[in-house]
Amino acid sequence: METRIGCAIKACNEFVKNLHRDELDRGCVASFNNTMVIRQSFTGDEMVIHRSLNRLIDIPDGGTRLYDSMVDIVRTFRRDGDRTRPWILVVVTDGDDNSSYMSLERAANEVSQLFTRESSNFLFVLGVGESVDSTRMQEMASKGNFIYIPVKYFSLLEYAFLTLAYQVSTSLSLSVSELSVGNISATWTEVQRNRELSRVAIDYALLIDVSGSMNVNTPPPPPKCFAGHDLEEERHGGDWWCDICGEDGETTISQNHCNICNFDACSSHCESGRKCTPKSYCRNSHPLIYMQYPKGAWLCNECKRSFYGRRLRCHQCAYQMCSECLETEELVTLMAGMSTYFRN
């Protein structure tokens, strides 16, 4: 299982690999716990930046001096940065400040005055995990004129870096107030292409939290229901069944439950970080779930026969399927696959 700092290093390396252009852009690596330390001053050598990032793996210890460290790295830009270029600063933290002398308000004001008031400069703070007070960080972002991005799991950190890298690589001519980071569909290939086409050289810095909590192992993200909500353990008051295969739960505890959708699934249908896989779909390609018919008989839309009890049903359409038709559908799919295998 990977540690939090390991996930952060991996995501930062991917960011540098796809954003940096050797001998054109310059990167800086810094870390913070009880103090802020420049691990690598601004350099155009990409491999040097990667080596500096990789050395962070064994450092995590101490507290979280976030506010003071953000001001310190901004002052590093003012001292060593090329003022003819856009400046990009990315901060990664897993907790709230507990070691700074500066207040949130004062640090935000310093950041605004020294860095983000310039329309060509970009500052992103990625708060990862549940220990970060996103309300306070959003307050600081508003006062400091920067963008705060909450990231639920460390395993999603690379996607967060991809999102901001894509926006930066397409928006270097814009001011920070015009930049928004949301759920976009992008790839690292697009980021690379945008950087190759751009003639704008940049100075960027990565400020990484290396407090003691960053040495904690990070579990994989939970699976998701069909609607994309995280699944979690739930103790039911009585019996329950799997909404995907219709099988009764072996105990009163469901390992994969969604409170929003009232959804349960056997672990065999679920994969970490992904939506569960349905047994079948309705004619409009919506996933079907097993439901108990409250009373009387119901009609299968496929074979037109009447049945009692549990059936596969689409929440969005007036469509339902019996288990016999599902078995026939699975057999047809299996035979088609075997036919393709033997032809090849």
CATH 3.40.50.720 assigned to 4-215: no
Within 13 Å and on the Cβ side, how many CA atoms surround 329?
A: 13
Q: Which of 137, 144, 146, 148 is nearest to 177 (CA)?
A: 146
pLDDT of residue 65: 97
**CB neighbour list of residue 137: distance below 8 Å, 6 or more residues apart:** 125, 127, 148, 150
| pLDDT, averaged across the chain | 87
Strand partners for 248: 241
Cα–Cα dist 212/270, whole Å: 32
pLDDT of residue 332: 47
Cα–Cα dist 207/200, whole Å: 22
4-215 and 281-344: same fold?
Answer: no
Amino acid identity at 153: Y
The residue with tokens 């959804």 is 263
Strand partners for 3: 217
Q: Which two tokens stand for residue 238?
A: 């009585």
pLDDT of residue 334: 41
Amino acid identity at 114: L
Q: Which of 29, 74, 77 is nearest to 49 (CA)?
A: 29
Domain positions in the chain: 4-215, 222-277, 281-344
Ranges of the chain with pLDDT below 70: 1, 171-185, 330-344
CATH number of 281-344, picked from 3.30.70, 3.40.390, 3.30.60, 3.40.1350: 3.30.60
- Inter-CA distances, 28 with 15, 31, 118, Å: 13, 10, 19
**Spatial contact of 172 and 196, defined as CB atoms under 8 Å apart:** no
Residue ranges of alpha helices (H) inside the chain are 4-19, 46-54, 66-80, 104-111, 134-144, 157-170, 188-197, 323-343
* Residue length of the chain: 344
**Spatial contact of 254 and 234, defined as CB atoms under 8 Å apart:** yes
pLDDT of residue 62: 95
